[in-house]
Chains A and B, each alone.
Chain A
Amino acid sequence: MKQSALLVHPFGARYAAALPAADSARREARETLALEGLPGPKREEWRFTPLRGLAKIPFIPAASAEDIDVRDIPADVPRFAGAVRVVLVNGVYRADLSDKVSEAGLAIMEAKTPDHDVHAPLAVLNAAYMSGGVTIAARGVVAKPVHIVSIGAAGAEPAAFHPRFAVAVAPAAKLTVLETHHGLPGQPYFSNPVTTISVGTAGVLRRYVLVREDSEAFHLATTVADVAADAKFDAFHLGLGGALVRQEINVDFVGEGAAVRLNGAYALTGRAHHDFTTFMNHDMPNCTSSQVFKGVVDGESRGVYQGRLLVARHAQKTDGQQLHKALFLSRGPQIDCKPELEIYADDVKCAHGATTGEMDPDHLFYLAARGIDPQAARLLLVQGFLADALENVDDAAVHDILSAEISGWLMRKASA
C-alpha cells in the first residue's frame, strides 16, 4: 500500500536514479523513506500542512540538472556588514561566492554526509538525498557573525535539494548566525534543509533565519537543537516568501539552567502557506523557554503555528511560555494554531496564549484623526505589528536587515 503510494511521490526510484550510488547512511534513509513515504494529512504534525501539491511535482535532483548556472549572488540578497558570508547554490557550498574564513575560533567546512540521525520525516528525505551543506564550529567568543546565503534555482525542470547544516558552539563559546534563503524565479524548486545545532555548556548561539524564497518555491526546514547546561539559544525566524514553507524547530534541553528563545514572524499574501512547528523538550530542571510568533495574513493564505511543550516529571522549575498572534488583513485567510502542553512535573510555570483578529478600529480612527488615509494607516499598522515582533532581535545589524525585509515585503504587497 505504502509502496504503491511511493511510486507516485516525487522522490522514488526515478529521482534516485539521477544520483550517484548511495553510501550506507543514505541507503538506509532511502529504505525508511520507501517504507514511510512523505507524511500525509493523517500524521498529526502534518495535518495543517498538506504535501499533496509538492508530491505532484516531478522534481529532479538539482545536482543532476545540467542547465542551472548561477554565477552571482542575486542583488536583493541582504548584505550583512562584517559577517563571514557562506553561499550555497541549490544546497551545495560555493567557495567562489563565499568569503574565506580567517576568524579566530571559527571553522567552516563543507559537509558531505548526513552525520546526525534526525528522525523527522523530512529529515529522512534529506538524509536519503543530501546534496551538500556546511558545518560551522565555534570556539571562544567569535566576533564575526556568519551569514549563510542559500539560493535555490531550477532549470527547465523542477528541482529539489537537501542540504545539511551543522552548527556546533563549544562550551562557553559565542556565535551569531544569520541564515537567509532566496531563490530565482522559474520552475518551482524545493529546498529541504536540515540543521543540527548543539550549544555547549554556558555557550551562546544567536540564530536568525529569513525565508524569502521565490513565490513558487517549497521550503521545508527541520532544525534540531541540543542545548546544554546554562547555555543560551536565541532564535528568530522570519517567513516572507514561498508557496509552501515550514520551519520546524525541535529543542532538547540536555543540561540544567539553559534558556531558549524561539521567536518568529510571517507575512503571507496570495495562496502562500507558512507553518511554524516547534517542540520544546524540557527534560532537565531549571530551564526556560519562551516563544512569540506573529503572523500577518492576507488573500487566501494560510498560517500555521503548532507549539508542543513537553515537561518531564523531573524537569522541575521549568518556565515555558508560548504566544501566537495573527492579524487578518482580509476575510480570506486561514490560521491554524495548536498549542500542546504536556506537563508531568508539578513545580513549573508554563503558559500559552493565542490571539487572532482584524485591525483594531480604535487604532484606525486614531490615525484617521491625524489625517492619515485608510490605506496608509493600514500600512503603518501592519508594519508596526511586524516591527513589534522584531523587538526580540537583539543583534542591531540583523534587526535592520530584517526590518528592511519587512518594508520590502510591504512594498511588494502594495504594488501587487
Chain B
Amino acid sequence: MALLEIKNLHVSVGGKKILNGISLALNAGEVHAIMGPNGTGKSTLSNVIAGRDGYEVTEGQVLLDGRDVLAMAADERARAGVFLAFQYPVEIPGVTTSAFLKTAINAKRRAEGKPEIDAMEFLKLVKAKQKILGMPDDMIKRALNVGFSGGEKKRAEVLQMTLLEPRVAILDETDSGLDIDALKIVSEGVNTLRSPERAFLIITHYQRLLNYIVPDHVHVLVGGKVVASGGKELAEQLEAEGYARYLSAA
C-alpha cells in the first residue's frame, strides 16, 4: 500500500473546477515532484491535502496509510503526519517562534501518547536543528515569521518540518523567493530528512530546486490533470522545452 494515495481527485473552488481527476501514489521513501505552469492547480492540490477551507472535493479520495485524510480536520491531518511547507508562511505578531514550536511539538507528542517535551530538551533540540539550517539561535525568540526575510521564512518552514518529522511532506513552491545560497541550505535540510519511512511531494514551477532535491518521479500538472509522468529527466526536459507541448495538448 502506498503511503499517500490520491485517487481521482476532483476539486472546485467557488463552483469552478480546478482539479479534474488527479491520481498519484507516493510510496514511503519516494520524492515526487509536481511541475506545471501557473494557475494549473498545483497549490490547490497541496491545500486540499493539508485541509484548508474553501475547497470542495466533488469526487475522489486521499488516503494516508489507508486512512481517509479528507474526513479529518486540518490539525488532525497534521498530527497524523501530513506537513505542508507553505509558499507564503504567515506572520503572526506576538506569538514567539519558540512558543509556537513548543505548542506544535507537544500537540504531536500528546497525539502519540508521549509526555510534553521538557523545556531544556526543547531548547537543545531546536538549537541543534537551527544550526544545521544556518539560523541564528535567537530567531526563536522573535515573533513567528514577523520581519523574516523570504529566505528566513522558508528556512523556518524546513525547521518546523525537521522538528515535526512528518510522514508526508508537501513543499509548496518552497524555492520561490530564495537566492541560490538559501536554496542550497533549504535543500540540504530537506535531503537530510529523506528516509525510507517518509515521502515528499515537491511542488515547483522551475526545475532549479530539483537540481538539489533530486526526485524519483516527476509529474506534469496542466489544467488540473496529470498530463505526463516520468523520472528526473522529465524535469530537465521541461526546463529545456517549457510547457508549451503540454499546454497545446490540454
* A388 in the interface (beta carbon within 8 A): yes
CB distance from A161 to the nearest CB of B (A): 36
* B50 in the interface (beta carbon within 8 A): yes
Interface string of A342-356 (1 = CB under 8 A from B): 000000000000000
A-B contact list, 6 entries, CB within 8 Å: A370-B78, A371-B108, A371-B111, A374-B75, A380-B100, A386-B94
Is A368 touching B74 in the complex (CB atoms < 8 A)? Answer: yes
Q: A371-B107, A371-B108 are in contact. Are A384 and B94 (CB under 8 A)?
A: yes
Main secondary structure on A side of the interface with B: helix
* A328 in the interface (beta carbon within 8 A): no
- How far is B143's CA from A89's CA once the two chains are assembled, in angstroms? 40
Interface residues on B, range: 20 to 34
Interface string of A340-383 (1 = CB under 8 A from B): 00000000000000000000111101111111111011001101
- How far is B50's CA from A397's CA once the two chains are assembled, in angstroms? 41
- How far is B103's CA from A372's CA once the two chains are assembled, in angstroms? 7
Is A369 touching B95 in the complex (CB atoms < 8 A)? Answer: no
* A387 in the interface (beta carbon within 8 A): yes
Query: For residues 41 through 73 of chain B, which have their beta carbon under 8 Å from a beta carbon of chain A?
Result: 50-53, 73
By a CB distance below 8 angstroms, the chain B residues around A391 are: 94
CB distance from B106 to the nearest CB of A (A): 9
By a CB distance below 8 angstroms, the chain B residues around A409 are: none
- How far is B100's CA from A388's CA once the two chains are assembled, in angstroms? 15
By a CB distance below 8 angstroms, the chain B residues around A363 are: 90, 92
Closest to A362 in B: B90
* A279 in the interface (beta carbon within 8 A): no
By a CB distance below 8 angstroms, the chain B residues around A388 are: 93-94, 143
Query: For residues 40 through 61 of chain A, which have their beta carbon under 8 Å from a beta carbon of chain B?
Result: none
Choose one: A361, A365, A370; the contact of B164 (CB below 8 Å).
A370
Interface string of A373-407 (1 = CB under 8 A from B): 11011001101111111010000000000000000
Closest to B86 in A: A366
- How far is B96's CA from A384's CA once the two chains are assembled, in angstroms? 8
- How far is B79's CA from A363's CA once the two chains are assembled, in angstroms? 18
Is A368 touching B90 in the complex (CB atoms < 8 A)? Answer: no
Is A366 touching B94 in the complex (CB atoms < 8 A)? Answer: no
Is B51 touching A368 in the complex (CB atoms < 8 A)? Answer: yes
- How far is B96's CA from A218's CA once the two chains are assembled, in angstroms? 35
- How far is B91's CA from A381's CA once the two chains are assembled, in angstroms? 11
By a CB distance below 8 angstroms, the chain B residues around A366 are: 86, 89-90, 92
Is A381 touching B95 in the complex (CB atoms < 8 A)? Answer: yes
Is B78 touching A371 in the complex (CB atoms < 8 A)? Answer: yes
Interface centre among A365, A385, A387, A391 (most CB of B within 10 A): A365
* B84 in the interface (beta carbon within 8 A): yes
Closest to B111 in A: A371
- How far is B95's CA from A365's CA once the two chains are assembled, in angstroms? 15
By a CB distance below 8 angstroms, the chain B residues around A360 are: 90
